[in-house]
Amino acid sequence: MKVPLLDLKAQFAPIRGEVLAAIERVADSQLFILGTEVEALEREVAEMLGVAHAVGVSSGTDALLAALMALDVGPGDEVVTTTYSFFATAGSIVRLGARPVLVDIDPVTFNLDPEQTLAACTPRTKALLPVHLYGQAADLDPIVLGARDRGIAVVEDAAQAIGTRYKGREVGGIGTLGCFSFFPSKNLGAFGDGGLVTTNDAALAEKVRLLRGHGMKPKYYHHMVGGNFRLDALQAAVLRVKLPHLAAWTEARRANAARYRALFAELDPEGRVGLPHEVASGYHIYNQFVVRVPGRDRVREALAADGIGTEIYYPLPFHRQPCFASLGADPGAFPEAERAAAETLALPIYGELTAGEQRYVVERLVAHVV
């Protein structure tokens, strides 16, 4: 049996006709950049997330960059964030000449520790940048309150978290700005790169819109130095076909997560494999189902030989990345992130997985753990 980490073909098959019709519609219009498709997507996503403004951009990375630019983050500023995330979280801060101040994760949720986040604030701190890792919300209440006390902003990295809820509220509209990604492996994936910035602040939304197109308004009059962070009409058209299916796809991922738990309870009664913790008051969308495995690297190789795809998110925390050596972090500074980087393994969790495939994954995994 072969079980890939992600099989996008299974999701595409039932919507193929609709997607091709949407692509044809854009082809016939010959209007490729922004325009009505992007505007419609922005309205539809904003409504789904219950947020006032959504601005389509070229990627999740550019969503982070535009959000931080809208807050005027630059040289001399600090942004507090987790050391354990996808590179873009810290990379976007550094690209603006600001300094990422890293904090460790909560070992239970893998999300940044709110106490350490607030303790890391200085008079130079311009924003806090929590990441909703794997599709589960970071503990936002203390972060948002702490930011409010200090008069600073919160940028939510919700790239892995479209539809995630925190205490009943959709993420992305809880902080000052939210950043989403439509990279194909995210729960709502485009046919290429895409992203979105959300906010309830009309002035910030307008600023992100300007920054998205070189700060230009009207044509060839530039108010600020932005970039080309525009979303393509083709991507928006494809995403609009997928959007109405997202809730059901997420439910299928959650059902698979529940089935993994039942299978591990049956096949690993001693609990040698550490299962992800689901915070009861939230809604986890399981962009990834990440377990802790003793002897992770050896087990991963054995699973690959069994035809089972897995991934390590992430093998090296930011403070250990060669390009961030200048931050001068002590290699042992963040023990929980180090431990997660050494132990974690993402298993296939996409909605179309079958019960038989999941049983095979758990049987093989448990067999390799000694």
Ligand X SMILES: *Cc1c(COP(=O)(O)O)cnc(C)c1O
Please pick, from the candidates 81, 160, 187, 310, the single residue that binds ligand X as defined by CB under 6 A: 160
- 329: helix, coil or strand? coil
Q: Which stretch binds ligand X (CB under 6 A): 53-61, 110-118, 143-151, 329-337?
A: 53-61
Check binding of 59 to ligand X (CB under 6 A).
Answer: yes
Q: How far is the CB of 85 from ligand X (least distance, A)?
A: 5
> Contacts with ligand X in 287-326 (CB under 6 A)?
none
Check binding of 164 to ligand X (CB under 6 A).
Answer: no
- Strand 289-292 with 53-57, pairing: unpaired
Smaller CB separation from ligand X, 240 or 364? 240
CA-CA-CA-CA torsion sign (223, 226, 232, 237): negative
Please pick, from the candidates 131, 171, 239, 293, the single residue that binds ligand X as defined by CB under 6 A: 131
Q: How far is the CB of 358 from ligand X (least distance, A)?
A: 24
Smaller CB separation from ligand X, 131 or 237? 131
User: How far is residue 180's CA from residue 155's CA, in Å, rounded to a whole number?
Assistant: 11
Q: How far is the CB of 133 from ligand X (least distance, A)?
A: 7
Check binding of 111 to ligand X (CB under 6 A).
Answer: no
Check binding of 84 to ligand X (CB under 6 A).
Answer: no
Size, binding site for ligand X by CB under 6 A? 15
- In the block, tokens 């809820």 appear at 165
Q: How far is the CB of 151 from ligand X (least distance, A)?
A: 26
The string of DSSP codes covering 248-260 is HHHHHHHHHHHHH
Q: How far is the CB of 235 from ligand X (least distance, A)?
A: 11
> Contacts with ligand X in 210-229 (CB under 6 A)?
none
Distances (CA, A) of 106 to 17, 109, 315: 44, 6, 17
Please pick, from the candidates 82, 85, 250, 344, the single residue that binds ligand X as defined by CB under 6 A: 85
In terms of phi and psi (left: phi > 0; alpha: psi -120 to 50; beta: otherwise), the region of 334 is beta
- Paired strand residues for 283: 165
Q: How far is the CB of 204 from ligand X (least distance, A)?
A: 19
Please pick, from the candidates 166, 183, 191, 260, the single residue that binds ligand X as defined by CB under 6 A: 183
122-126, Cβ contacts within 8 angstroms, sequence gap of 24 or more: 122/78, 124/76, 124/77, 124/78, 124/99, 125/77, 125/78, 125/79, 125/80, 125/101, 125/150, 125/152, 126/71, 126/72, 126/73, 126/77, 126/78, 126/79, 126/98, 126/152, 126/153
Check binding of 361 to ligand X (CB under 6 A).
Answer: no
Smaller CB separation from ligand X, 234 or 263? 234
What are the residues binding ligand X (CB under 6 A)?
A: 59-61, 85-86, 88-89, 131, 157, 159-160, 181, 183, 193, 195
